[in-house]
Structure 1
């Protein structure tokens, strides 16, 4: 038996473990309190990540026992933090599942002089992207990862893995960027933004420049303009982020736009739409879809794919859009079309309304027009914000794992699926790693070009340069050969 001390004032008197990996110990606390711990192998379970390996990772279960609750709680918390992170085998499997990111992450002298602030969803392909940036030459101690606040399935495990890897990691919730956050999230965001400023200052003092890969959230907070801890360059990932950047006004840095690139439009949105449809069917496993009415709000890049996908499973889909060109395109593809939501609801009775606009698509005046019991599925945060950010939110009834049910005037109810944000990220992993591999590889390629010669990118948002950069990189040829070619 040996004694091991740590910085929290605990000491452990360990017993030997048997061949099965079981064991026990007595932990003595600083005030004389103690906890008895025992552990043993956990029966095999299904993989907790998209990628799986053989043999599966060994898992253990712990039994903690003691006379005082405080040390039990403390030790359970510490064990939880230690065991939450992705295992080495799981991280290796994610990395192996992103061959294009690996291919274009060959190290060179571009990134050693840079620091990175990466703000995106905490999903497995984000792990693969940051591993790619490391392999390309970025020091992990100069990576600051920020979650956007979505309830992705393994966000806590990804966060714990980032910390173990040596990154800084926190949450800067999208509701803060949109101005709809409550007091608690606002207070947290102030602390995070102060820490981001310190990170930028430390990087500059160390002679490093700072790249942001984001959806416009940090630029909307002023980090791309004079007067704050200005970063040096940015890559924009989303259309909503572009709108935020446009609202800010003058930028003082170059911004490479991936949101409207051919890469995202032609490859990324097919995978995004697929994940949206899969999540929609999974969250309503008891519902009939075939033959039923669905109303699709917005016929843009994602909305058009959603409308076609729903029609492919037998739904009768109607489209609402305020852009006459989009209405023409939808009508000429065989969809019923309407200029407004009230006009559509006067003509048909959907069981499901899909939001793809990224704007406030449902107004308070529209609520009495909704059919009783209708489902609302948002794939952009603002579409149904009249429910999530208004007074009705206080009277909503949570439906765990599904969403929230709202009581409306005139004895009607509606069910908002998920949490009002992108439904494909609600308690779900979202896009398959191989499905987003090309987009993550393209982001790395764009980052390398921007950081290698930032002087080639004048101040402001660049909407065409990225198509040339990625087109010349060989990514599309590699994508075709990897995933589509027969030989």
Structure 2
């Protein structure tokens, strides 16, 4: 079965790699300059074909790779393929949360000196162990990880971490347009339900929330927005969305999608009043925006319908449908695709050039979380415009 997994992973990689032209150019550059020679990169990031192309690019630059995926999104054929390429990869798609935490510990135990993090899981483990001395620096992919680095981990990260999510390129290209597109596509693929005429509530009007709302409305959905930041709420209202708090929308919405990066956006108070038949969806990095434990506490029963669909009976002769156990929905289901190839080519170019900056010019960076340097953003924007043939 392992050889079959390797072959399947290799076949998928051929298509994905051929469409990631920005990384292809950098891979050739790294093969010549070898910026990561002598360095070990520890990674915690969704293990799918697009991430694998990033890892190939870093390995071409001389990096030794030790990596694991995120809980519930690892693709076993890609793990098999990467192991065949000589990389040390921990984890499977069926790992429990406990095993996932063990995988994180295994990556840290390998003593990487550069981090490629997602949700600040590696940074948190290093802070817990007090083993930051060997770390030169790294990158963080997500909004959620940026929050952790600037809050609970602020005094425990004495090395530079470039937060990729702070880049306006990622905000526009990946968060708004790619996450927005993939969340709507995944909702349709997993549930086989139509969007037109359906009532959606999007919690959070950051870049991901903007994108989700935009693509839902583009397909004919009726969209309301929940946002605690007055300025973002004002923007949502000017964009033409209904704006209210989640409890006021509990009996209006048919589908509730969380996109905030914060915990317990949908909690016990909401579960007590949500209308019968509502569908609960999360697209944030951590599975905490929907308080699944509280939901199970109030549930009378639950039935797993399909891979990512669970029907939960609530008091008052009501039921709700939970997708992907409250985990990131656009990487769930039988055939998860995630964000578009082109958007991840852009996002992972940000990763690659930021990591190059960490190892070649660490003295230009400060300790702790910080945005992508402006020179990298502008360089990539120029490359992207050429790749898009935007002048035609």
Q: Fold match, TM over 0.5?
A: yes
1:255 aligns with 2:255: no
Seen in structure 2, the aligned counterparts of structure 1 residues 388 and 146 have a Cα distance that, compared at 3 Å, is farther
Task: Name the counterpart of 1:22.
Answer: none
1:163 aligns with 2:89: no
1:196 aligns with 2:107: yes
Q: What SS class does the counterpart of residue 382 from structure 1 fall into?
A: coil
How far does residue 87 in structure 1 lie from its aligned partner after superposition?
A: 5.2
Seen in structure 2, the aligned counterparts of structure 1 residues 167 and 280 have a Cα distance that, compared at 3 Å, is same
How many aligned residue pairs are there?
Answer: 379
How far does residue 478 in structure 1 lie from its aligned partner after superposition?
A: 1.9
Structure with a larger share of its residues in helix: 2
The C-alpha deviation readout for 1:34-62, integer Å capped at 9, x for no partner, is xxxxxxxxxxxxxxxxxxxxxxxxxxxxx
The equivalent position to 1:95 in structure 2, one of 3, 13, 17, is 17
Q: What SS class does the counterpart of residue 344 from structure 1 fall into?
A: coil
Q: What SS class does the counterpart of residue 158 from structure 1 fall into?
A: helix
Task: Name the counterpart of 2:277.
Answer: 373
Q: What SS class does the counterpart of residue 248 from structure 1 fall into?
A: coil
Residues 288-437 of structure 1: matches in 2 within 5 Å?
Answer: 288-338=194-244, 340-345=245-250, 349-359=252-262, 360-380=264-284, 381-387=287-293, 390-391=296-297, 395-427=301-333, 428-437=336-345
Give the whole-Å Cα distance in 2 for the aligned partners of 1:93 and 1:370: 43
CA contact (8 A) 1:110 1:451 kept: yes
Q: What SS class does the counterpart of residue 410 from structure 1 fall into?
A: coil
TM-score w.r.t. length of structure 1: 0.72
Supply the RMSD in Å over aligned alpha carbons. 2.5
CA contact (8 A) 1:101 1:129 kept: yes
CA contact (8 A) 1:146 1:169 kept: yes
Task: Name the counterpart of 2:358.
Answer: 450
How far does residue 364 in structure 1 lie from its aligned partner after superposition?
A: 0.5
1:110 aligns with 2:35: yes
Q: What SS class does the counterpart of residue 223 from structure 2 fall into?
A: strand
Give the whole-Å Cα distance in 1 for the aligned partners of 2:120 and 2:140: 6
How far does residue 89 in structure 1 lie from its aligned partner after superposition?
A: 4.6
Give the whole-Å Cα distance in 2 for the aligned partners of 1:229 and 1:171: 26
The C-alpha deviation readout for 1:110-132, integer Å capped at 9, x for no partner, is 11021111211111110111111
Task: Name the counterpart of 1:73.
Answer: none
Task: Name the counterpart of 1:81.
Answer: 2
Q: Which runs of 5+ in 1 are unaligned?
A: 1-79, 174-180, 204-208
Seen in structure 2, the aligned counterparts of structure 1 residues 101 and 367 have a Cα distance that, compared at 3 Å, is same
Seen in structure 2, the aligned counterparts of structure 1 residues 161 and 172 have a Cα distance that, compared at 3 Å, is closer
Q: What SS class does the counterpart of residue 366 from structure 2 fall into?
A: coil
Q: What SS class does the counterpart of residue 255 from structure 1 fall into?
A: strand
Structure with the bigger RCO (C-alpha within 8 Å, sep 6+) is 2
Seen in structure 2, the aligned counterparts of structure 1 residues 191 and 430 have a Cα distance that, compared at 3 Å, is closer
The C-alpha deviation readout for 1:295-354, integer Å capped at 9, x for no partner, is 22111111122112212222221111111112111111111111x211223xx5222111
How far does residue 134 in structure 1 lie from its aligned partner after superposition?
A: 1.9
Seen in structure 2, the aligned counterparts of structure 1 residues 379 and 113 have a Cα distance that, compared at 3 Å, is same
Task: Name the counterpart of 1:145.
Answer: 67
Larger radius of gyration: 1
Give the whole-Å Cα distance in 2 for the aligned partners of 1:451 and 1:393: 51
Seen in structure 2, the aligned counterparts of structure 1 residues 93 and 189 have a Cα distance that, compared at 3 Å, is closer
Give the stretch that moved more between structures: 382-391 or 435-444: 382-391
CA contact (8 A) 1:124 1:433 kept: no
Seen in structure 2, the aligned counterparts of structure 1 residues 431 and 190 have a Cα distance that, compared at 3 Å, is closer
Task: Name the counterpart of 1:480.
Answer: 385
How far does residue 169 in structure 1 lie from its aligned partner after superposition?
A: 0.9
The equivalent position to 2:375 in structure 1, one of 468, 474, 481, is 468
CA contact (8 A) 1:364 1:386 kept: no
1:124 aligns with 2:30: no
Q: Which runs of 5+ in 2 are unaligned?
A: none
Seen in structure 2, the aligned counterparts of structure 1 residues 450 and 222 have a Cα distance that, compared at 3 Å, is same
CA contact (8 A) 1:148 1:172 kept: no
Seen in structure 2, the aligned counterparts of structure 1 residues 408 and 88 have a Cα distance that, compared at 3 Å, is closer
The C-alpha deviation readout for 1:361-409, integer Å capped at 9, x for no partner, is 1111211211111111211232212357743579321111341111111
Task: Name the counterpart of 2:184.
Answer: 277
Give the whole-Å Cα distance in 2 for the aligned partners of 1:372 and 1:90: 41
